[in-house]
Amino acid sequence: MNRIFSGIQPTGNLHLGNYLGAIRNWVKLQKDFDCIFCIVDLHAITVPQDPAALRQATREVTAAYIASGIDTDRCIIFNQSTVAQHAELAWVFGCITPLGWLNRMTQFKEKAGKQRDNAGLGLYGYPVLMAADILLYKGTHVPVGEDQKQHLELARDIAGAFNRQFSVEYFPLPEPQIFGTATRVMSLRDGTKKMSKSDASEFSRINLTDDAAAIADKIRRAKTDPNNLPEDVKGLEGRPEAENLLGIYAALTDKTLEAVVQEFAGAQFSTFKGALADVAAAVLGPIGSEMKRLMADPAHVDAVLRKGADKAGAIAARHLREVYDIVGFLRP
Ligand code: TRP
């Protein structure tokens, strides 16, 4: 059986990059896979979070999943901290993961910065917890972006290390689920940087709850270069902003980049930006308003999470018991 596991951190400002790069593809996967979509709050606290904002962001990510079309009957949606076995399996994995493997993780180096001694143990162990997330459900396929590939490879290594150490074939080796259609959405202020929740500039990203006017304003102000749009895809070389905006248009309209470049060949940015604002508002408008409706009904959102926690918890409890038996913990 194939099972998808993926997650997003509840750290605010869900944006177009989260939608086109992740959530939209998850919606397509739910037909063919058994899917578990998590709101990874345990991961969020690897850096300081305001408690009220964390709770709010947890509901917001849940609302975004539902508003984007994830079916809460077919899929499991839950927040990580409600299933205690994530932390428990992470401990077991932490005991079989060599420090050398963690020392290679580039995201830790980036996030810890120069003051590495001040970084928390949780930030360091972040990829071990991520491996536990996936393997707790024996996930086989993990849709992740480029930036999480190294963590996923570590999850495979940990699964292999566990199986070898205990001479079992217990955990599957999870595979990255790569999409032809997943779009790496870049900042509207700098076409070489990923669109990010944490960018200081609101004009760098289109939030899923932005209304049509805000979307149009941000696209109008998006960085460009002095030339008109190119005649062919080759002409995008060295023009990251043009490539990003055309790529967003292609993703939003389900067209190929080639087709979109053809459509706007030689056009001025201003003309193209008007068209882009229209399609962005058409796609995001209904999602944003559904998110707002759900956010106004937190009892409903919480009920969805509770149902998800029950379903996830049942699988997690069964698997962790098996793991504890393999490890040799006495069940008196
Ligand atoms: N680390 C992922 C990110 O920041 C989030 C995440 C946590 C995740 N656990 C996961 C993604 C398990 C996929 C599978 O994007």
Q: Both 25 and 157 in a single domain?
A: yes
State if residue 43 touches ligand 1 by the CB under 6 angstroms criterion. yes
Q: Both 50 and 176 in a single domain?
A: yes
Ligand 1 nearest-atom number relative to CA 147:
15
Ligand 1 nearest-atom number relative to CA 129:
9
Q: From ligand 1's centre to the CA of 176, what distance in Å?
A: 12
CB-CB contact of 270 with 34 (8 Å): no
**Looking at the domain assignment, is residue 17 inside a domain?**
yes
Task: Please state, in angstroms and rounded to a whole number, the distance separating the CA atoms of residues 325 and 89.
Answer: 13
Give me the domain span that covers residue 266.
202-293
Active site residues: 111, 194, 197
| Atom 3 (ligand 1) nearest CA | 8
State if residue 144 touches ligand 1 by the CB under 6 angstroms criterion. yes
**Looking at the domain assignment, is residue 57 inside a domain?**
yes
Q: From ligand 1's centre to the CA of 200, what distance in Å?
A: 23
State if residue 133 touches ligand 1 by the CB under 6 angstroms criterion. yes
Q: Both 312 and 286 in a single domain?
A: no
**Looking at the domain assignment, is residue 194 inside a domain?**
no
Q: Both 56 and 105 in a single domain?
A: yes
Q: Which among 155, 146, 190 has a CA at the least distance from the CA of 22?
A: 146
Ligand 1 nearest-atom number relative to CA 151:
1
Q: Both 301 and 286 in a single domain?
A: no
Predicted confidence (pLDDT) per residue in 29-38, tens digit = 999 999 999 9
Ligand 1 nearest-atom number relative to CA 8:
5
Predicted confidence (pLDDT) per residue in 150-199, tens digit = 999 999 999 999 999 999 999 999 999 876 666 789 999 999 999 999 89
Share of the chain above pLDDT 90, in %: 95
Q: Both 174 and 226 in a single domain?
A: no
Cβ neighbours for 291, distance < 8 A, ≥ 6 positions apart = 60, 63, 64, 67, 208, 209
**Looking at the domain assignment, is residue 195 inside a domain?**
no
Q: What are the angstrom distances between the C-alpha of 321 and each of 29, 34, 133?
A: 29, 22, 15
Q: Both 103 and 246 in a single domain?
A: no
Q: Both 172 and 247 in a single domain?
A: no
Q: From ligand 1's centre to the CA of 40, what distance in Å?
A: 7
Q: Both 71 and 150 in a single domain?
A: yes
Predicted confidence (pLDDT) per residue in 83-141, tens digit = 999 999 999 999 999 999 999 999 999 999 998 999 999 999 999 999 999 999 999 99
**Looking at the domain assignment, is residue 197 inside a domain?**
no
State if residue 9 touches ligand 1 by the CB under 6 angstroms criterion. yes
CB-CB contact of 242 with 225 (8 Å): yes
Q: From ligand 1's centre to the CA of 298, what distance in Å?
A: 24
**Looking at the domain assignment, is residue 121 inside a domain?**
yes
Q: From ligand 1's centre to the CA of 80, what distance in Å?
A: 11
| Total domain count, the chain | 2
pLDDT at 181: 60
Both structure tokens of 121: 């143990």
State if residue 315 touches ligand 1 by the CB under 6 angstroms criterion. no
pLDDT at 144: 87
- Residue 280: give its domain's CATH number: 1.10.240.10
Task: Please state, in angstroms and rounded to a whole number, the distance separating the CA atoms of residues 169 and 194.
Answer: 38
Q: Which among 274, 288, 289, 286 has a CA at the least distance from the CA of 219?
A: 274
Stated pTM of the model: 0.95
The beta-strand segments (E) located in the chain are: 3-8, 34-39, 76-79, 141-142, 175-176
**Looking at the domain assignment, is residue 43 inside a domain?**
yes
Q: Both 128 and 37 in a single domain?
A: yes
pLDDT at 243: 97
Whether the pLDDT of residue 325 is over 80: the answer is: yes
Predicted confidence (pLDDT) per residue in 300-314, tens digit = 999 999 999 999 999
Share of the chain above pLDDT 70, in %: 99
Q: Both 288 and 313 in a single domain?
A: no
Q: 64-78, 106-120, 233-247: lowest mean pLDDT where? A: 106-120
**Looking at the domain assignment, is residue 192 inside a domain?**
no
Ligand 1 nearest-atom number relative to CA 130:
9
Task: Please state, in angstroms and rounded to a whole number, the distance separating the CA atoms of residues 231 and 247.
Answer: 15
- Residue 321: give its domain's CATH number: 3.40.50.620
Residue 256's region, left for phi above 0, alpha for psi from -120 to 50, else beta, is beta
CB-CB contact of 98 with 105 (8 Å): no
State if residue 90 touches ligand 1 by the CB under 6 angstroms criterion. no
Average pLDDT on 202-226 reads 97
pLDDT at 180: 63
The order of strands in the sheet holding 3-8 is 76-79, 34-39, 3-8, 141-142, 175-176
What does pLDDT average to over the chain? 96
Q: Both 83 and 157 in a single domain?
A: yes
State if residue 37 touches ligand 1 by the CB under 6 angstroms criterion. no
